[in-house]
Amino acid sequence: MAERLIELRDIKKSYGNVFAVGGVNMAIDQGEVVGLLGDNGAGKSTLIKILAGAVKPSSGEILVRGKPVHGWSAAKSRAAGIETVFQDRALAVQQTIVRNIFMGREITTAMGLLNVGKQRAEAERLMRDIGFTSKVFSPDSIVGQLSGGERQGVAIARAIYNQADLIVLDEPTTALSLTETEKVFRFVRNVRESGRSILFIGHNIHHVFDIAERFVVLDRGRVAVEITKPEVKTVDRLIAFMEHVAHPAGANPLDDSPATTGANL
Amino acid sequence: MTDIADKHDQYPQRGALHRLVLDNRAALGTFVVFVLMMALFFWGNPQVFSDWRIYNSVLTTLPVALFLVVPLVFIVTVGEIDLSFPAVMGSAAWIFALGVAAGYDPFLCIAVAIVVGMVLGIGIGAIVVYAGLSSLVATLGMNYLLRGAILIFTNGKSIAVVSLKGTVAYDVLSGSLWGFPVQMLWATAFIILSMILYNRHKFGARVHCVGDNPDSAEQMGIDTKRIRVYTFVFMGFGAALAGIFSTMINFTWWPTSGDSYLLPTLAAVFLGGTPTWGGIGTILGGAIGAVIVSFIQVGIVSAGLDGFYVQFFNGLIIILALLGHRWNQTRYR
């Protein structure tokens, strides 16, 4: 079995007496793509903000490679190799691809001067690695000229340069067309092949189903189900389950699946 | 629509010249404005404008404006504005003039004045950044505060520094080399070093990123507040240099020293092609902008027009240049 990268144990986050996240257990192994699903208000964004260290959990434990980390923070999250690509505000769009990839971690020569040639070559290598090849754009192109999917590619390339082990993609395909979504999927597949893990957040079930191998469905701050793709079999069954979570009536469509946890609503 | 092809993974390799033009399109646009303006002046009064003396007189005072415009481009790029540099310039120059008048070595006085400028920069930057104030309003307040302090302490009296004449410091910094004002060489060196800092240095790269998307820069571990403060420190450095050179050129320090530079410097930055919204900018464009502003005044009068036309033409050039840049530059969001 692959190494356990990150484990969340009984993570709770309350605002006053409202629980945004009410006791979440989940784990991400090395080299797997996990899809995090859930309706608006299910606690997806709170959970990824907790992972990024931007929000402190009220209680619970976070383990990195099996070891509990105390005083979880943005710096500890980064040190643990987690990089979150937030939907709209990840990139500096008036800057070049190179400048975005090396933002905050520039390759320099003496006296802090930028090593332009090395940065360019490294950017080209990173873009090739994730499958971001273009006839039109060079590493010196302005990010604002790129399409939405390509921008996600730049953010992913940057995460890889920063040696992230877990890349959290927050709704990476929400605003994208079909072809653009395909591009993001290709980047994600290439990242997985390099042994890194991806947490893919989305509310388009089809997108998440296509790319992830395991799904965690959140509902009102709790894990409604955690299930692998072979177990859920088809996207229709996953959709049916999501509908069941939203409006519980009749039998749980996933009841015949052996790994169903906590789905008895 | 762009196509990420699997087979052809080569983007077009552009020539060095092509890239140079693209990278400097804003500065080049400003240069075109400058050339057109000069052509107009030349046509208005060919006799005056084919004489070296008019250029010499502009080049004598131009460095003062250049020392102000260049750091202001950094501040605008990082997403802030500074209106307090005239008072910082006046303060640093005041210390310089006091020291020289008291008989201290001019080089020592220069060093102290530069430190004063930078310390004021730290103070102004820290107030704006760490107290989270609007830089537009806070620096306006600082400008009044500092200028007021100068007027209170000096009783509005100027300081003559005629003793500078003939000193090594004067000859090296603002003497004359075969009839050419030496200070122009220092200003040129300042521009070149600043361009390297802005375009080819870690600091410049971070200034761009912070001005473009502070959230992203913060997430990538950049101390965005510190970068902002540094730009104000650099502004203090430039303002001190401007004050020192201005005092040396005139052999006098006035309590109002620097005041007249506020609006022309701002105009030079923006007509030079640095947009107001932060994230991008051009040092070279700003420098050419300063040259334009300096020549308008001389040009109008020499072309035989009344001095009353100066402000009108200032405004005309600014608006035309802004329209040009609007057309020349796309804003990416």
Average pLDDT, chain B: 90
Strand, helix or coil at A168?
A: strand
> Is B331 a member of any domain?
no
> Is B222 a member of any domain?
yes
Is B53 in the A-facing interface, judged by CB distances under 8 Å?
Answer: no
Beta carbons of A112 and A199 less than 8 angstroms apart: no
Contact (CB<8Å) A104/B222: yes
For residue A147, the chain B residues in CB contact (below 8 A) are: 1-2
For residue B331, the chain A residues in CB contact (below 8 A) are: 94
Contacts of B133 (CB under 8 A, 6+ apart): B127
Q: Which domain holds residue B212?
A: 35-325
> Is B89 a member of any domain?
yes
pLDDT confidence bin for A154, thresholds 50/70/90: very high
Strand-pair category, A214-219 with A33-38: parallel
Is B200 in the A-facing interface, judged by CB distances under 8 Å?
Answer: yes
Output B142 or A135, whichever has higher pLDDT: B142
> Is B19 a member of any domain?
no
Helices first, then strands: H and E counts in chain A: 9, 10
* Residue B114: pLDDT over 80: yes
> Is B73 a member of any domain?
yes
One-letter amino acid for residue B58 of the chain: V
The string of pLDDT tens digits covering residues B167-200 is 888 888 888 888 788 999 999 999 999 999 999 9
Which residue of A88, A96, A100, A103 is the best one to mutate when testing the B interface, meaning the one whose CB has the most B CBs within 10 A? Answer: A103
Output A135 or A181, whichever has higher pLDDT: A181
Contact (CB<8Å) A137/B11: yes
Contact (CB<8Å) B202/A142: no
One-letter amino acid for residue A209 of the chain: F
* Residue A178: pLDDT over 90: no
Mean pLDDT is highest, among A157-166, B40-49, B91-100, for: B91-100
- CATH number reported for the structural domain that contains residue B152 in this entry: 1.10.3470
The string of pLDDT tens digits covering residues B251-285 is 999 999 999 999 999 999 999 999 999 999 999 99
> Is B7 a member of any domain?
no
pLDDT at B248: 94
Q: What is the 3-state secondary structure (H, E, C) of B264-282?
A: HHHHHHHHCCCCCCCCCCC
The string of pLDDT tens digits covering residues A197-254 is 999 998 788 888 888 999 999 988 888 888 888 888 888 888 888 888 777 776 777 7
Q: Which domains does chain A have, with CATH numbers?
A: 4-92+166-246 (3.40.50.300)
For residue B280, the chain A residues in CB contact (below 8 A) are: 94
Beta carbons of A215 and A241 less than 8 angstroms apart: no
Is A84 in the B-facing interface, judged by CB distances under 8 Å?
Answer: yes
Is A108 in the B-facing interface, judged by CB distances under 8 Å?
Answer: yes
Contact (CB<8Å) B196/A113: yes
- The nearest CA of chain B is from the CA of A241 a distance in Å of 36
The string of pLDDT tens digits covering residues B290-302 is 999 999 888 887 7
> Is B179 a member of any domain?
yes
pLDDT at B14: 66
For residue A53, what are the CA distances in angstroms to A20, A84, A156, A202, B171?
16, 10, 19, 20, 58
> Is B320 a member of any domain?
yes
Q: What is the ipTM of this complex?
A: 0.87
Contact (CB<8Å) B215/A135: no
Q: Structurally, how many domains does chain B consist of? A: 1
- Of the ranges A6-10, A54-58, B13-17, which one carries the lowest mean pLDDT score? B13-17
